[in-house]
C-alpha cells in the first residue's frame, strides 16, 4: 500500500522538471494525479494567471474524481536583474506567474478543501525566497512572497484541517535552471553556484518530489506553515578552505 492510496492530487507545472517528477512520485505513492501546465502533455492546459481557468480546472478535477486531497504547485518562471535594468513588463510577468499564480491556485484548492475540512497544499518556493542573490530582484521577491503567503494560509486554515507548506529548493537540474546556467559565457557563475552546494552537485527533481510526497502525506500531519529547505547545504554557510588547508578534504 502507498502513503497516498485513495487520494486525489493536483500538480501544476507538471509538464517538466520538478512538476513532472512530483506527478510521477505521487502516482507511485498511490495518488490519482491531475497535471496542469501552460504547455502540452498534461491533463489540463492552464495559465495560472487566469483565475477563471484555474477555477474551472479545479472544479473539473473534483467533478471527475469526487475529491481533492492535495496540491503541489510547481508552476513558475525565472527572471530578474538589477532593478534599474528590469522593465515593468518583465517584473509583472515574473511576479504574476510566480506569486499571483500561487495565490490563484491555492485559493481555488482551498475552496474545495474547505468543503471537506481536510487537505494539504505544497508551494514550490526557492532558497532565493529566503536569501538575496545578485540580480535576483523580481524572482527573489516573488518567491519570498510565496513563502509569506504559505505562512498566512497555514494560520488561516489550520483549524479547518488544511495544511499549507512550502519547499525551498536549491539548484535543481531542471530545464529552467539549465536554460539559465547552460548558456555560453556563464561558466564562472555556473561553477560558483555549483560549488555553493556543500554536496558538490545540483539536486535532482526526484529529490524535491520526495519532499513534496512527504509533505502531502500523513507522515507530515503535524507540519504546517513551514518553508522546508532542500538545497544540498547551500544555505548552511560557506566553506573558507580551512579543512583543505588541514589536509582533511
Structural contact between residues 123 and 99, judged by C-beta atoms closer than 8 angstroms: no
Catalytic site residue 44?
no
| Helices assigned H by DSSP within the chain | 17-28, 51-65, 88-95, 101-116, 137-157, 175-181, 187-196, 205-216, 242-245
Q: Is the dihedral of CA 77, 78, 83, 89 positive or negative?
A: negative
Question: Per the residue annotation, which of 44, 139, 157, 189 is the catalytic one?
Answer: 139
Report which of 28, 44, 51, 215 is spatially closest to residue 123, judged by C-alpha positions.
215
CA distances from 40 to 36, 65, 93 (A): 9, 22, 20
Q: Which residues pair with 164 in a beta bridge?
A: 121
Report residue 8 as a C-alpha cell. Answer: 486525489
> Other CB atoms closer than 10 Å to residue 235's CB: what's the count?
15
Catalytic (active-site) positions = 139
Amino acid at each position: 500500500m502507498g502513503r497516498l492510496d485513495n487520494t486525489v492530487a493536483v500538480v501544476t507545472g507538471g509538464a517538466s522538471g520538478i512538476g513532472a517528477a512530483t506527478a510521477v512520485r505521487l502516482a507511485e505513492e498511490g495518488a490519482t494525479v491531475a497535471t496542469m501546465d501552460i504547455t502540452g502533455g498534461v491533463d489540463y492546459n492552464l495559465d495560472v494567471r487566469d483565475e477563471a481557468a484555474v477555477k474551472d480546472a479545479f472544479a473539473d478535477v473534483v467533478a471527475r474524481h469526487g475529491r481533492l486531497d492535495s496540491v503541489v504547485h510547481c508552476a513558475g518562471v525565472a527572471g530578474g536583474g538589477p532593478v534599474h535594468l528590469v522593465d515593468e513588463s518583465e517584473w509583472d510577468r515574473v511576479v504574476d506567474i510566480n506569486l499571483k499564480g500561487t495565490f490563484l491556485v491555492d485559493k481555488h484548492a482551498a475552496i474545495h478543501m474547505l468543503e471537506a475540512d481536510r487537505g494539504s497544499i505544497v508551494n514550490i518556493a526557492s532558497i532565493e525566497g529566503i536569501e538575496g542573490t545578485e540580480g535576483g530582484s523580481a524572482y527573489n521577491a516573488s518567491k519570498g512572497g510565496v513563502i509569506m503567503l504559505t505562512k498566512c494560509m497555514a494560520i488561516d486554515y489550520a483549524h479547518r484541517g488544511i495544511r499549507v507548506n512550502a519547499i525551498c529548493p536549491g539548484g535543481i537540474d531542471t530545464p529552467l535552471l539549465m536554460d539559465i546556467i547552460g548558456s555560453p559565457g556563464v561558466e564562472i557563475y555556473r561553477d560558483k553556484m555549483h560549488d555553493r552546494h556543500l554536496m558538490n552537485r545540483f539536486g535532482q527533481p526526484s529529490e524535491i518530489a520526495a519532499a513534496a510526497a512527504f509533505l502531502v502525506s500523513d507522515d507530515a500531519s503535524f507540519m504546517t506553515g513551514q518553508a522546508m529547505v532542500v538545497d544540498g547545504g547551500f544555505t548552511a554557510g560557506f566553506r573558507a578552505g580551512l579543512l583543505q588547508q588541514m589536509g582533511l578534504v
